[in-house]
Amino acid sequence: MKRSKHRVQREDSSMFYSDSVDSWEELDSRPPGGGDPAQPAFVANTDHFETLEEVSKAIKDAGVDKCGLIFGIDYTLSNKVQGERTFGGRNLHAVESGRVNPYQEVICIMGETLEPLDDDGIIPVYGFGDRVVKDIGIFPLKKEGECDGFAEVLDVYDEIAPDIKLGGPTNFAPLIQEAVAIVRRTKQYHILVIVADGQVTSEEETIAAIVAASEYPLSIVVIGVGDGPWEVMRDFDEQLPARRFDNFNFVDFHTVKTEARNPQAAVAVAALKEIPEQYRAIKEHGLLDQLHGRRK
């Protein structure tokens, strides 16, 4: 499953790129945890929080006082039709005065809940699945530099979303691999939030990326917007045992919202509820120590 590094030039001269390391084999050969079979067996996380206050306290109790954030946004063509039931038949990326689309809503909710954990406020934000990079790469939403806080993430999204030509197919692998590269470079725990509108079409590559990422201090949260279906996402969340720890959490945005009295808080709880156990597993496996060259 070797993937070469890709760079694609857009008409607006912004650089689109994919893998920051040269291949999955290279990534798999360099894990800080080493994939030692003597390590404890994979255990799926259990969910036991009901309020944002409970999960926030658990995150602090687990020792997560600072972390880095990475954000990814799905620009596949299916966004045009995935709002038939959940967004009044409109394009999920529609930027309209007086109306908030699901992507804007997730950015706002995650900003309010995650930004206090971000130690420097700098948030790399990437798009994937548009007509240019398709399923082989990612592109930075901001042409130069990174976004400074979620307010800028929303501003940049609002500015470019109307001009992005939707494409596909859907592949999370290049984004997850870029997140791993950021973790390796910064030697810091990160949370990767992916907002997507449906099933991935490159399942094998995405599964390989999720498994490889479990050797690093990285939590992956996928928030599904639109109509679904979400069976593959739930399989990724619950049925990928070949990992160092349970590093993947899926949230069905519309279902969580419609079943809650406080929709925004409910989405935040669903997105963050596995972070405490994930971070404890990261510490137990010594993944941060090994990034810094320290033995557990």
Query: Residues 290, 44: contact at Cβ < 8 Å?
Result: no
Higher pLDDT, 20 or 215: 215
Q: How far apart are the first and last CA of the chain?
A: 31
Does 115 reside within a domain? Answer: yes
Position 45 pLDDT exceeds 80: no
Does 45 reside within a domain? Answer: no
Does 2 reside within a domain? Answer: no
What local confidence, expressed as pLDDT, does residue 193 receive? 97
Strands 122-123 and 147-148: antiparallel
How does DSSP classify residue 244? S
Position 29 pLDDT exceeds 50: no
Domain count, the chain: 1
Return the CATH number at 97: 3.40.50.410
Residues 293 and 49: their CA atoms lie apart, in Å, by 35
Tell me the percentage of the chain whose pLDDT exceeds 70. 83
| H-only helix segments in the chain | 24-28, 52-61, 102-114, 150-160, 173-186, 203-213, 231-238, 253-258, 263-272, 275-284, 287-291
pLDDT digits (tens, 9 = 90+) for 108-149: 999 988 888 888 899 999 999 999 999 999 999 999 999 999
Q: The domain containing residue 162 runs over which residues?
A: 61-291
Does 75 reside within a domain? Answer: yes
| Identity of the highest mean pLDDT range in 196-200, 228-232, 283-287 | 283-287
The region of weakest confidence among 58-62, 115-119, 220-224 is 115-119
Does 38 reside within a domain? Answer: no
What local confidence, expressed as pLDDT, does residue 92 receive? 98
pLDDT digits (tens, 9 = 90+) for 152-182: 999 999 999 999 999 999 999 999 999 999 9
Does 41 reside within a domain? Answer: no
Q: Is the pTM of this model over 0.75?
A: yes
Map residue 68 onto helix, strand or coil. strand
What local confidence, expressed as pLDDT, does residue 296 receive? 58
Does 190 reside within a domain? Answer: yes
Q: How far is CA 229 from CA 78, 200, 295, in A?
A: 12, 11, 43
- For 27, residues 6+ apart whose C-beta sits below 8 A from its C-beta are 21, 177, 180, 212
Average pLDDT, the chain: 85
Does 184 reside within a domain? Answer: yes
